[in-house]
Amino acid sequence: MTNLEVSPQQEVCPPAAAAGPCLELWPEREVPLGGVRAMNVRRTLPQRGLPTIGAWCFLDSFGPDRTAMSVLPHPHIGLQTVTWPLAGNIRHRDSVGSDVVVRPGELNIMTAGFGVSHSEFAVLPEGGDLPVQRGLQLWVALPDRERHREPAFEQHRALPRATGDGFTATVMVGSFAGAVSPATMYSPIVGADVTCGGPAVLPLEPAFEHGILVLDGGLAVDGHDLRPGPLGYLGTGRSELAVAAEPGTRFLLIGGEPFQEELLMWWNFVGRTHDEVAAARADWEAQAGLPEEAAAKARYGLVRGHGPEAGAEAGRIPAPPLPTVRLTPRRRAAKG
């Protein structure tokens, strides 16, 4: 998915500070959408004061909504997109030639590297009501030594399941409770979709920081009640996490080694400097209107099937204007 904000702010993400165990609740915020599409999108990363959890640098929840998701071609650099549908199917097309449908239980990983472009559309049934769309879109920052690599895409249709003390989990990326995801990642990281319905003890990597986003139900952590909405930040230094969950509770667990590089995020780009991001934007705008073969050789390549012959799907998402000011770095701050 694209960052749908009409006027995205630059997010300067300083390196993480060692924190130790904690529980902080970081509120979700509604993302103002451009255009006429009315999809409910809530963002819980990045936050002022909490730019990353491990290399996870972006977390959007969308739906459930009966709406025809249609995200035209748009660019990315310096990140991996991690797409995890919870309801509804999404057709993904990209500039490395992918054209696939991703369904609930399946994972799309797109590595932008130096530059990629892609589109995402709801798969609509023949006639009848619009399907319910619900899902998660996350970004993982690529470390400096990997961020200029060639773009790539992979889909995983059968992810490993882990079971443990009071829980079951699907391991999306990294390893959790002894199960290892086949997804290609470039930093020490974990992402899991966890189900539990009572007391449970989750094994954690103490060198990682972790966060929890409740999807359904609710659970008690360190005496706090976590519900759908805010992101619960757990800090580092936990080798396990005891929770008490309502029946039918489902949550996203993300974590990773605290990311030690300063990031500059703007629109769909994860870079390091203002000038680099400005160049990334200029390169996308320079591709507008290029003939197909020239676009295919340009930085962000060509997402086939969106040419003038594509009717309602023709087009691309133009980059918003760059802010006129260079922002100063934000510091990770403890939540009061």
User: Cβ closer to Mn ion: 2 or 133?
Assistant: 2
Q: How near is the Cβ of 81 to Mn ion at its closest, in Å?
A: 5
User: Cβ closer to Mn ion: 39 or 226?
Assistant: 39
Assess 67 for contact with Mn ion (CB under 5 A): no
CA distance 248 to 246: 6
Using an 8 Å Cβ cutoff, are 220 and 170 in contact?
no
Q: How near is the Cβ of 118 to Mn ion at its closest, in Å?
A: 6
Q: How near is the Cβ of 117 to Mn ion at its closest, in Å?
A: 8
Contacts with Mn ion in 1-30 (CB under 5 A)? Answer: 2
Q: How near is the Cβ of 93 to Mn ion at its closest, in Å?
A: 11
User: Cβ closer to Mn ion: 69 or 172?
Assistant: 69
User: Cβ closer to Mn ion: 22 or 96?
Assistant: 96
**Alpha helix positions (H), the chain:** 274-286, 292-297
- The torsion angle over the Cα atoms of residues 192, 195, 200 and 202, rounded to 10 degrees, is 0
Contacts with Mn ion in 250-309 (CB under 5 A)? Answer: none
The count of chain residues that interact with Mn ion, using the rule CB under 5 A, is 1
User: Cβ closer to Mn ion: 2 or 181?
Assistant: 2
User: Cβ closer to Mn ion: 2 or 44?
Assistant: 2
What are the DSSP calls for 243-280, one per residue?
EEE-TTEEEEEEEESPP-S-EEEETTEEESSHHHHHHH
Residue 318 is classified by DSSP as P
b/e burial code for range 208-235 (CB count within 10 A of at least 16 → b)? bbbbbbbbebebebeeeebeeebbbbbb
Q: How near is the Cβ of 239 to Mn ion at its closest, in Å?
A: 35
b/e burial code for range 145-166 (CB count within 10 A of at least 16 → b)? eebeeebbbebbeebbebebeb
User: Cβ closer to Mn ion: 2 or 47?
Assistant: 2
Nearest to 134 by CA among 208, 228, 54: 228
67 Cβ contact list (under 8 Å, min separation 6) = 37, 38, 39, 122, 130, 133
CA distance 84 to 69: 15
Q: How near is the Cβ of 268 to Mn ion at its closest, in Å?
A: 6
Whose CB is nearest to Mn ion? 2
Binding mask 138-177 vs Mn ion (x if CB under 5 A, - otherwise)? ----------------------------------------
Q: How near is the Cβ of 111 to Mn ion at its closest, in Å?
A: 12
Q: How near is the Cβ of 192 to Mn ion at its closest, in Å?
A: 22
293 phi and psi, to 5 degrees? -70, -35
User: Cβ closer to Mn ion: 120 or 205?
Assistant: 120
Name the site residues for Mn ion (rule: CB under 5 A): 2
